[in-house]
Amino acid sequence: MLDKLQNKIYHLLRKSEEYTKTDMVYLAKGGFWLTLGQFISSGAAFLLAIAFANLLPKETYGTYRYVLSLVGVLNVFTLSGINTAVIQAVARKYEAVYWPSFVAKLRWSLLASLGSLGIASYYYMGANLTLTISFVMVAVFLPLLRASGLYIAVLNGRKDFKLSATYNSLVRIVASLVMLSTLFFTDNIFFILAAFLIPDSIMQFIFTWVYIKKHPLNKDNDPKTVSYGLNLSAMELLKTIAGQVDKILIFHYLGAAQLAIYAFTTAPVSQIKSVLLNLKSLALPKLSEVDEKDIKDSFLQKVRKLEIVVILIIILYAALAPLLYKFVFPQYIESARYSQVYVLTLLFFPRTFLSTVLVAKMKQKELYSIRIISPIFRIVILFVALKFYGLWGMIIGTIISEAVLFALYRTYYKKAFS
């Protein structure tokens, strides 16, 4: 009896050791390419931020950020959840899901165009020609911009992070060069919006055609993928609106210049989050293949290790932020003190991976509950906080809403894998 127990423990330990070694190799190989790609994207974003800070008036930049925030809201109609569903399906070798998913994404994106035209009509009646023309431009290009990027989901599902990073980097480099050139010659918002919309749309379309031709998809299909993508997108509805509500409220109640200050408050922290999100790209296809028992046994331990890394990043950033703004963004020096507090939102970043595991294992009931409760709470608290405390209220309200979201994910994760 004792011998049998010892053998069982030995085999369990060996299995755990094999999983650990496999995970380390996977993280090292995939993480290198994703980190390299993110390094290039972050470098391009950093250069653009310097250009925006030095070449555009605050009012113009604030208006541009407002347009992009409403584009973010319109994204609810572009089926962002389809991308996640395709990654999950391709990781399980169902690659033929790509074309029906692409068609569904393109069709639904037409609703985003109609929504953009509706916003344009609203501003036309208010005699705001700048925002009217801006949203007409968005209506024309948004469907192609969002649908053409779906091929990246196939690359990530196949765990071809090298090619994914290569394509993404090329798109970011070209798009950034076009934007930088535009900013040097003009501060006209229409040209700036065109520089944002057109290069991405064209290059993503070209890379889709090149990749699918060179790397044909298999014939295996999972008919549940599109419906799962629709469900994920429906879950994202309130979350997407809540994710942009801070910029919309600031623009309407405090003005474009204050929105510009807020945008530079959050931008460096957002770049840090983008780097950390590489781990999410690695995690989703891997978790889609792993048994739920293995997730239950070890996943939370990995999340706790990430929390330690995040705390160190917060301390380092808070110490360096004043220097960053003083020497790189002197026009937005007032953003430094806001940003030193806003970085505390990173404390709750590990909840992203609780979300990833719930998505990978199709825990729709739990996901719906979280993505209904949390956004409503965020919208309410941000509205109240801004009304009474201005920008400081927005920052503190964001930290509180992130803490609540983290608590919800922990609660529903435990229920899902109990």
The per-residue pLDDT of the chain, averaged, comes to 85
Residue 77 and residue 202 in contact, taking contact as beta carbons nearer than 8 Å: no
- CA-to-CA distance for 16 and 333, rounded, in angstroms? 50
Closest CA to 185 of 58, 73, 56, 16: 56
Q: What angle do CA 334, 386, 73 make, to 5 degrees?
A: 95
- CA-to-CA distance for 209 and 213, rounded, in angstroms? 6
Q: What is the CA radius of gyration of the chain?
A: 22
Q: Within 13 Å of residue 406, how many CA atoms lie on the same side as its CB?
A: 16
- CA-to-CA distance for 240 and 84, rounded, in angstroms? 15
pLDDT of 344-368, one tens digit each?
999 988 777 777 777 777 777 888 8
- Helix (H) / strand (E) element for 102: namely helix 98-125
- CA-to-CA distance for 84 and 283, rounded, in angstroms? 12
Share of the chain above pLDDT 90, in %: 53
pLDDT of 75-128, one tens digit each?
888 888 899 899 989 988 999 999 999 999 999 999 999 999 999 999 999 999
For residue 414 the two structure tokens come to 């435990």
Residue 148 and residue 208 in contact, taking contact as beta carbons nearer than 8 Å: yes
- Residue 284's pLDDT is what? 54
Alpha helices in 158-255 (DSSP H): 161-185, 189-214, 224-253
Residue 56 backbone class (left: φ over 0; alpha: ψ -120 to 50; beta: rest): beta
Tell me the mean pLDDT in the region 162-183.
93
3-class DSSP state for residue 10?
A: helix
- Residue 320's pLDDT is what? 96
3-class DSSP state for residue 118?
A: helix
- Residue 289's pLDDT is what? 61
What is the DSSP code (8-state) at residue 398?
H
Burial (CB count <10 Å: 0-12, 13-18, 19+), residue 1: exposed
For residue 141 the two structure tokens come to 């290009």
Identify the band that residue 14 occupies on the pLDDT scale cut at 50, 70 and 90. very low
pTM of the model: 0.82
- Residue 4's pLDDT is what? 47
* pLDDT of 283 above 90: no
Tell me the mean pLDDT in the region 173-178.
95
Q: How many CB atoms lie within 10 A of CB 375?
A: 22
Identify the band that residue 370 occupies on the pLDDT scale cut at 50, 70 and 90. confident
Higher pLDDT pick, 289 / 57: 57
What is the DSSP code (8-state) at residue 77?
G
Identify the band that residue 17 occupies on the pLDDT scale cut at 50, 70 and 90. very low
Could you state, in order of their start, the residue ranges of all structural domains in the chain?
10-416
Share of the chain above pLDDT 70, in %: 86
- Helix (H) / strand (E) element for 261: namely helix 256-289
Residue 247 and residue 262 in contact, taking contact as beta carbons nearer than 8 Å: yes
Contacts of 49 (CB under 8 A, 6+ apart): 264, 267, 329
Residue 261 and residue 332 in contact, taking contact as beta carbons nearer than 8 Å: yes
Tell me the mean pLDDT in the region 254-264.
96
> Helix 292-327 to helix 2-55 angle, to the nearest 10 degrees?
30
Q: What amino acid occupies position 97?
A: V
* pLDDT of 153 above 60: yes
**Sign of the torsion formed by the C-alpha atoms of 108, 113, 116 and 117:** negative
- Residue 288's pLDDT is what? 56
pLDDT of 215-234, one tens digit each?
899 999 988 899 988 888 88
Identify the band that residue 236 occupies on the pLDDT scale cut at 50, 70 and 90. confident
- Residue 2's pLDDT is what? 40
Identify the band that residue 13 occupies on the pLDDT scale cut at 50, 70 and 90. very low
3-class DSSP state for residue 255?
A: coil
pLDDT of 290-336, one tens digit each?
666 666 656 667 777 778 888 999 999 999 999 999 999 999 999 99
